[in-house]
Structure 1
Amino acid sequence: MTLRSYLFATTIFALVPTVAAAQAQPATSQTPPQSGAAPQSGLAEIIVTAQRQSESSQKAAVPLNVLPGSALLSSGITQVDRLSSLAPALSIEPTNTGNLVFVRGVGNFTLAPNSDPAIAFNYDGVYVGRPTSTTGVFYDLDRVEILKGPQGILYGRNATGGAINVLPAQPKLGELSAYASVGYGNYNNVQAEGAINLPVGDDGAVRLSLSRSSHDGYLSDGTSDENTWAGRFQVKAKLTPDLTVRVAADFAHNGGLGSGIDYQGVYAGSGANFTPSGIPAGTGVYAPSGQSYLTGMTYAPLGNHLPALPAPYQDNMFYGVNAEITYNTGVGTLTVIPAWRNSHLNYMASAGSIPYSNVETDNQYSFEARFAGKRIGPVDYQLGFYYYNERIDARTALTNGNVGNYEQPTYKTSSYAGFGRVTLHVSDRLRLVGGMRYTQDDKRFSTNQITSIISCLVTVAGRPSCPAAPTVPLFTDPSQLGYAFPATSPGALPIFVNGAPTGALSIRSDTIYNNLPLNSHKPTYRGAVEFDVAPRSMAYASIETGYRSGGFSVATGFETYQPETITAYTIGVKNRFFGNRLQLNVEGFIWDYKNQQVTHLGVDLASQLAFFTQNIGSSRIKGVEVDGKLLITPTTLVGTDIQYLDAKQKNFTYLQGAGTPPITGCGVTTGSGVNPYLINCSGLPAYNSPKWTLNFSGQQTIKLSDYKVVLSADTQYRSSRYIGFAYLAQQLVGPTWTTNAQIQFGPSNDRWSIAGYVRNIENQRIPVYSTQGGTAGLLVEGTSAPRTYGVRLTAKY
């Protein structure tokens, strides 16, 4: 535990008794029970806003999982990637440039700025456009809502696969309170967070929240570490009986080395011949054995060896300011949410085994206005308008043996949407719901990409052989190349080393796009019927559409891509039985996914390596999810969440440039001459789509006079699934189990507690994503965290 971390944790705990001592009068309002707690009268209700209105999660006729802030705190979740262990439909792959999020096979494979997320991430009611900007927000939360399926009506920008709504705890008006939690575990793991709520009269409050999360690398090369600081400041006031205003500001800094990867091995030819690396999982590509493995590779296009990877780092800052203004007009409630978010990324990472650096600034402004009208006869309604403006300025560089790129792209997006939703109360038990949204997306793109290619002119037995030629270094200016480089593009010069010819050419092939436009628009809709079968039982059925706008790629032949769409059919029931002690929710779904966007590392039609997006095909996703909780006794709670998923690629074909044969587990139609390869993966399962996902949990409370011991455990089973774009045999992960346990002791009033925990008891490093390392045939994988354990102390006032 570092000195700075220790001082931070000590400061948080020091603030709590200060508040308690200052509390001369009792609080004007009692703190409500923690969401998700199990009172003796039965299972607690969890209030959600998934439909932009406050209601019980059991009355929200939409597929969702809800994770109360208390559960997140006790689970030690400080980053979005841990959510996948609690929600069967969700799969999150942490990478060294952000998180790849999938819901039932719908998601993204890369985090390049040219691709919008398929799963919307909404923080404090604000859509966050970049998946790289979802760090440093998991502290002092009220709850997290995970919505499954298209979000084409009420949420920010459209999303095809679902949404993750992260809702911070808001200031409590007229209340003086605080809490703090500090934990320490193996890998030098420090988790500390806390909040202070200060009253400003009876109708106002400010809330300050702080968080510190750090641990050493889970890989022996030091990667897959964490070093995050975050803070949030909120002011909330009820200015008049009808007008409430809340203003919030937050920041986060993410340092360290970032997520790490391991070498799985190398392919020869088109993927039929695979040689394992022999390097144990958990080593990392920057370890001496990893670097030796890479530099021992003979790079076929040159006939010489690859260079070692440069050292990784990340220095990323995130800021945000937003407000929520709520005004009761007498005929309805108007809610206005203006917001600004900014991120500055500066990192060096390995995209596969390819060195990749990025300095990027993301600026986004958004404005949302919603009006929830009072019921007029049997009808209530919501109307809204949404505006989103984003500018991304990036400076990226990557290199792959004999090819290197330096790119300066600028992406601009303006998005407008109007939406409405109407509910017709046919009777006290039957409701018909209809909603529609119209979205207009206007995008602009420009870039200047400098490309350096070294072409070997000397061959031996038909193979390139110029071992004296250099490989292309990572560069942000041609002067850094260290060899002759043409002043203009296209151009070619011979390469000399120490005055001697190398038998290779230095080729310059730049790409310039100047303010290219791309406009798209789409209406989306939702229709549903809801029926209250009994006071605590509801059935519902719906059809909803979603849309994700198109965009740009710096890749010859794939300069633009078109929007994708999804149509979801859902039928479900939500029930409480036996005096509110048994909860049983069942959801059946069919999703038709069309014009599917897939962003990946590949070879474009100029036979150059690039990140680009293609509209690859369509898929059919169907299944059933069953969520149950049973309060066996007032002190014994068990739960299960089971999902069966049948997700299949119906028509999944794409092109790759001529030259190097594609390494893939799919069918390939061989190109001839300059003709591209056609890859066909139709009929295969969708990505990150285990057929079975089983979650089981149990909690036993043992009362000891005025104290209690709480024993809890949970486990998750996932059947086999593909985790890589190429559908290689090595990208198929077999069935896995992951189990966690905890013991907690404290007084019955929950004023403080001390807990010991262990996560991933099996100590498995489960592969979570796999990708090819460019044209060298290397295959790498990222894995889950190993077994971790520690203690946590929490106090509340």
Structure 2
Amino acid sequence: MTNRLAALAQGGASVAAIAWTGILAAPVPAIAQSEPANASSEKPAETDSGAPGEIVVTAQRRSESLQDVPISIAVVGGETLSNRSVGNFEQLAPLVPNLTVAKSPAANVIVLRGIGSSPGSPSLDQSVVMFIDGVYAGNARQFAAPFLDIERLEILRGPQGALVGRNTSAGAINIISRKPGAYFGGYLNATYDFKLDGPTIEGGMDVPVANGFAIRAVGRYSDVEGYIHNTQTDRDEPARRDIVGRITGVLDNGGPVTLTAKFEHADVRQHGTPLQAIAPDKGEYFDYTKDTVLTSGPEFDNIRSDNAVLQAGIDLGGPQLVWISAYSGFKQQQRIDGDFYFRNLATADFDQKFDQLSQELRLVSPGGQTLDYVFGLYYSKAKLVEERTTGVLFAPAASTYRIFRQDSSAFSAYAALTYHLSDALRVNGSLRYTDESKDANFALYAGPNAATQRTGTLRSQFDGSLSKGTLDPAASVQFDLSSNAMLYASFGKGSKSGGFQGAISNATEDTFAFRPERSTSFEGGIKLTLPGLGYFNLSAFHTVYKDLQVSTALPSPDGTSAPFFTGNAPKARTAGAEAEFFLQPANFLELQGSLAWLPTAKYVKFTSGPCFIGRAADGSAIGSCDLSGSRLGFAPRYSGSLTATVKQPLSNALEVRASLSPTFQGRSFRDFANDPVTAQDAFVKLDARFSLARSDGKWELALIGKNITDKRTISFGSSGGLANTFLSPTARIGVIDPPRTIAVQAKVKF
């Protein structure tokens, strides 16, 4: 196993159910609700939690079926994540149609229904925002931490500004971690991946400390090799070591006050990167080899994060008052080979330090009334320092160091009302007002020592300031056709704050700031419960975006810099449909799947967009291209997934379980400039799992195969930077997805 570098990663933040009653869903397919800590010393027998495929939706002491919620939500349970060995968002994306997650040099690309934030500037807020136990995590690098002891993931599609939180112009991802149980117990999961040549070990324990007080401590250790062979260093990259730990305490003695406290630390060290350069005119295409080398040391991408939260719930004799106080911060250091191939011509550093403090206060009605309500206030402040360097080794005087500092604050007030006109008809209305301010400073230094010593001759420096108030409304109508069928129609607006270009080499004072992003969406759907069998949900949507924020790398015009395009596309539109189902036609068989159709995902008007390599400029601005009518990046016309699981008893105590999971996607561009070279053709991938287990779930041994047909695909592509100058004018860089992997897994519960 190859040597590892020093590590650092990002974990999750905190607790709380976020803003609207009833959008938090439980694991799939049927999971009992978490029990509060209590004084009982005897562990009850495990029982089934409900009908086949039932997903229980909970929010502030209320429970309802996901089938009663007028929102398109995909839910992935913690057991599914464990069984599929899903450790990050890139591995999650294939399970959720219309969701794409790809790794780029600067930040992750997260796209939902064809809309997402580009990777050009880490300072951009995401259009698809992550909430970890209710705490807002809008920085793209906050998606870097591996999953740990997750109860469920909820992917809320479409604008969620009024219901969930700010900057959710394209959607939201809720991550809900497991809380302490009432009884002593725990688990241990161990996986060894033969292709990645390393183990992943995760374990946790519930400890009842006193009457009404329990603690859950969990940890994860992973040390795996990469799947891309670097011919220059003779190593497999990116090798990664994760160390993550979390402790959660819950005090609930049946009184009017409950307290939840959580602290999590993550440390991830990644040696090497998955980025590789190609040159089509030289017959070099994406494969599982790369040839980068740096005299200053290996490429790396390290993140360390700390997250803490304190939540209090106060029962006011019906309504509940919830207070959430949270801290989220990380420090990231990354170095890549700036020319992306074997010549030692350039290096580039991407470093960030981020700190966020937030407070939220919420009043929630008890539910089941003629009028249900949620009222809330939210405040946060954050500080971001982003440093980038470009070390031009063949022309040291052209080296640069850029530093970007940003202080931001946000205040929100929101309300959500549900009026029951009758037993079958409900009307929902929500409104959120957000006032957000940002102050930023940019400075660029140049000279022979600029990249190594982070100093030099000051070439440019300027400030920027933004302040904007936005109003995000939403409304929906629900009608129960029967006790097993619900129709809904909804309207909603979303927004994302404006921002600044960050520490890019071609930042100018005139183009430093970019405008806020706005979205308007209409959605309708039907949710069908199939008694004793499962459920089937179907939704259709139409969303228009104004001033869509776009940021992407550009070819280097002078051979010594790595420029970016950052700006606003005046108008974009997406429209399509999604279906999800769970069926249990027999006790031994489960079928779970989802489909997405996205016929419309385009720039309606974008006359000054970025150009891909080889395309002649034809846009309204110098050097730009007219992308009006062009397909959005990372937006396949169709995608889907299916999992078929068979369980067969061998005896009263043992059973075998087997599952087959195909996923598929249509053709899509893997960049934001519609480059045909980095487009990914339609494909089907196949995962499989076979296990022997005790029938009561106490232990399980499994064999897991991912991409078992060894399908080769790419997740991200871009211009090649300095490789365009020295390798080939047609050079690109990109990230290829993992090949076939085989792993063994052992699980024990006690």
TM-score, structure 1 as length reference: 0.82
* Other structure's SS at 1:71 match: helix
Distance 1:584 1:214 in 2: 40
The residue that corresponds to 2:273 in the other structure is 259
Letter in 1 for 2:400: N
CA contact (8 A) 2:120 2:566 kept: no
Distance 1:236 1:426 in 2: 38
Query: How far off is 1:146 after superposition?
Result: 0.7
Residue from 696, 718, 725 that aligns with 1:771:
718
- 1:617 matched to 2:570? The reply is yes
Query: How far off is 1:61 after superposition?
Result: 1.5
Letter in 2 for 1:593: Y
Query: How far off is 1:280 after superposition?
Result: 5.7
* Other structure's SS at 2:228 match: coil
The residue that corresponds to 1:312 in the other structure is 299
Deviates more, 1:124-133 or 1:255-264: 255-264
Question: Judging changes above 3 Å, is the alpha-carbon distance between structure 1 residues 264 and 604 closer, same or farther for their aligned structure 2 residues?
Answer: closer
Distance 2:614 2:555 in 1: 16
Query: How far off is 1:664 after superposition?
Result: 4.5
The residue that corresponds to 1:748 in the other structure is 695
The residue that corresponds to 1:214 in the other structure is 223
The residue that corresponds to 2:14 in the other structure is none
Residue from 242, 245, 249 that aligns with 1:235:
249
Q: Deviations over 1:222-255 (max 9, x none)?
A: 3233211100001111155211100000011110
Question: Judging changes above 3 Å, is the alpha-carbon distance between structure 1 residues 725 and 280 closer, same or farther for their aligned structure 2 residues?
Answer: closer
Matches within 5 A, 1:113-512: 113-173=122-182, 175-186=183-194, 187-221=196-230, 222-239=236-253, 241-265=255-279, 275-278=281-284, 281-286=287-292, 311-350=298-337, 353=340, 355-374=347-366, 378-399=370-391, 403-452=398-447, 474-477=451-454, 510-512=459-461
Query: How far off is 1:653 after superposition?
Result: 2.6
Question: Judging changes above 3 Å, is the alpha-carbon distance between structure 1 residues 780 and 603 closer, same or farther for their aligned structure 2 residues?
Answer: closer
* Other structure's SS at 2:122 match: coil
Q: Deviations over 1:370-403 (max 9, x none)?
A: 1112469621110011111110122221246764
* Other structure's SS at 1:164 match: strand
Q: Deviations over 1:72-103 (max 9, x none)?
A: 11111111211111100210102355421100
The residue that corresponds to 1:709 in the other structure is 656
Q: Deviations over 1:344-369 (max 9, x none)?
A: 11221246836321332110011111
CA contact (8 A) 2:159 2:492 kept: yes
* Other structure's SS at 1:679 match: coil
Query: How far off is 1:648 after superposition?
Result: 1.7
- 1:45 matched to 2:54? The reply is yes
Question: Judging changes above 3 Å, is the alpha-carbon distance between structure 1 residues 472 and 445 closer, same or farther for their aligned structure 2 residues?
Answer: same
Question: Judging changes above 3 Å, is the alpha-carbon distance between structure 1 residues 570 and 258 closer, same or farther for their aligned structure 2 residues?
Answer: farther
* Other structure's SS at 2:743 match: strand
Question: Judging changes above 3 Å, is the alpha-carbon distance between structure 1 residues 476 and 3 closer, same or farther for their aligned structure 2 residues?
Answer: closer
Q: Deviations over 1:109-132 (max 9, x none)?
A: 216332111110111111113221
Deviates more, 1:425-434 or 1:130-139: 130-139
CA contact (8 A) 1:336 1:369 kept: yes
* Other structure's SS at 2:271 match: coil
Letter in 2 for 1:278: E
CA contact (8 A) 1:665 1:726 kept: no
The residue that corresponds to 2:10 in the other structure is none
Query: How far off is 1:52 after superposition?
Result: 10
The residue that corresponds to 1:16 in the other structure is none
Distance 2:103 2:676 in 1: 21
Distance 2:627 2:46 in 1: 53
Letter in 2 for 1:263: A
Distance 2:150 2:325 in 1: 21
* Other structure's SS at 1:765 match: coil
The residue that corresponds to 1:298 in the other structure is none
* Other structure's SS at 1:84 match: helix
The residue that corresponds to 2:603 in the other structure is 649
The residue that corresponds to 1:595 in the other structure is 547
- 1:576 matched to 2:522? The reply is no
Question: Judging changes above 3 Å, is the alpha-carbon distance between structure 1 residues 475 and 725 closer, same or farther for their aligned structure 2 residues?
Answer: farther
CA contact (8 A) 1:189 1:215 kept: yes
* Other structure's SS at 1:392 match: strand
Question: Judging changes above 3 Å, is the alpha-carbon distance between structure 1 residues 336 and 258 closer, same or farther for their aligned structure 2 residues?
Answer: farther
- 1:540 matched to 2:488? The reply is yes
Letter in 2 for 1:751: K
Count how many residue pairs are aligned between Structure 1 and Structure 2: 688
Distance 2:3 2:550 in 1: 45
Distance 2:107 2:550 in 1: 17
CA contact (8 A) 1:263 1:277 kept: no
Distance 1:472 1:152 in 2: 45
Distance 1:638 1:539 in 2: 24
Distance 1:330 1:753 in 2: 45
Q: Deviations over 1:698-739 (max 9, x none)?
A: 001111112100010101111100111221210221111111
CA contact (8 A) 2:496 2:516 kept: yes
**Higher RCO (CA-CA < 8 Å; seq separation 6+):** 2
* Other structure's SS at 1:349 match: strand
The residue that corresponds to 2:21 in the other structure is none
Distance 1:613 1:72 in 2: 35
Question: Judging changes above 3 Å, is the alpha-carbon distance between structure 1 residues 725 and 211 closer, same or farther for their aligned structure 2 residues?
Answer: same
The residue that corresponds to 1:270 in the other structure is none
Letter in 1 for 2:431: M
CA contact (8 A) 2:374 2:416 kept: yes
Question: Judging changes above 3 Å, is the alpha-carbon distance between structure 1 residues 412 and 177 closer, same or farther for their aligned structure 2 residues?
Answer: same
Q: Deviations over 1:189-228 (max 9, x none)?
A: 3111111000022311001000112310110023233211
Q: Deviations over 1:239-281 (max 9, x none)?
A: 552111000000111102253122221xxxxxxxx51452661
Structure 2 gaps of 5+ residues are 5-38, 231-235, 341-345
Q: Give the percent of matched residue pairs that are identical in Structure 1 and Structure 2.
A: 23
Query: How far off is 1:28 after superposition?
Result: 3.6
Distance 1:52 1:404 in 2: 58
Letter in 1 for 2:336: A
Question: Judging changes above 3 Å, is the alpha-carbon distance between structure 1 residues 147 and 30 closer, same or farther for their aligned structure 2 residues?
Answer: farther
CA contact (8 A) 1:100 1:111 kept: no
Structure 1 gaps of 5+ residues are 5-24, 266-273, 292-306, 453-470, 480-487, 490-509, 657-661
CA contact (8 A) 2:632 2:672 kept: no
CA contact (8 A) 2:198 2:224 kept: yes
The residue that corresponds to 1:461 in the other structure is none
- 1:90 matched to 2:36? The reply is no
Question: Judging changes above 3 Å, is the alpha-carbon distance between structure 1 residues 259 and 428 closer, same or farther for their aligned structure 2 residues?
Answer: farther
Question: Judging changes above 3 Å, is the alpha-carbon distance between structure 1 residues 350 and 338 closer, same or farther for their aligned structure 2 residues?
Answer: farther
Deviates more, 1:201-210 or 1:607-616: 607-616
Q: Deviations over 1:627-679 (max 9, x none)?
A: 122212111112331111021221123267xxxxx5447662279xxx72231
* Other structure's SS at 1:281 match: coil
Structure whose CA Rg is larger: 1
* Other structure's SS at 2:81 match: helix
Distance 2:682 2:465 in 1: 46
* Other structure's SS at 1:654 match: coil
Question: Judging changes above 3 Å, is the alpha-carbon distance between structure 1 residues 513 and 55 closer, same or farther for their aligned structure 2 residues?
Answer: farther
What CA RMSD, in Å, does the superposition of the two structures yield over aligned residues? 2.8
CA contact (8 A) 1:135 1:252 kept: no
Query: How far off is 1:580 after superposition?
Result: 2.8
